[in-house]
Amino acid sequence: MTTQTKKFIEPWDIIGVQMQCKKCSASRLVSGDTLRTLSDPHNDALWKCSTCSNSWTVPQTYPTQTTLDTQVKQFIRMVARIQAIDEQLGFHLRFELRDESENK
C-alpha cells in the first residue's frame, strides 16, 4: 500500500508576499496596504533590489516599465480579486504545493 500527502493553499491564506534577491539574498516581505501599493502600475519598487540594485522586474537596459513588471503586479492584484469574490464562486480554488522532498 502507498500513501501520499498533498498540501494545498487557498487564496485567502495568502497574507503577504516575499521577494528574495537571487544575487544578494536580501528579502522583502510585504502585506496589507503595502502589498496593494506594491502592485500599483506606477510603483517602481520591484524594478530592482533595494540592497544591491540587481534587476528584478525591469532589466537594466530598459529605462521604462516592462511587460515582466506588469505581469508580476497583475498576479498580485489577481490574488486579491480572487479573495474578494470567493463567496460568489461555486467552488473553492486551491493551489497544490510541491512536496519539500521533491527536486526543484
Mean pLDDT of the chain: 87
Binned at pLDDT 50, 70 and 90, residue 88 comes out as very high
Instruction: Summarize the confidence of residues 73-83 as an average pLDDT.
Output: 90
Rounded-to-integer distance, Cα 88 and Cα 14, Å: 19
Spatial separation of the C-alpha atoms in residues 99 and 94, rounded to whole Å: 15
From residue 10, how far is each of 52, 68, 85, 103 by CA, in Å?
A: 33, 25, 13, 23
104, burial (CB in 10 Å: exposed 0-12, middle 13-18, buried 19+): exposed
The reported pLDDT for the residue numbered 84 is 87
Q: Which are the contacts of 45, defined by CB distance < 8 A and separation ≥ 6? A: 38
Q: What are the angstrom distances between the C-alpha of 97 and each of 7, 8, 13, 63, 81?
A: 5, 6, 13, 36, 21
On the question of pLDDT at 60 being above 90, the answer is no
pLDDT at 59 over 80: no
Instruction: Check: pTM over 0.85? Answer yes or no.
Output: no
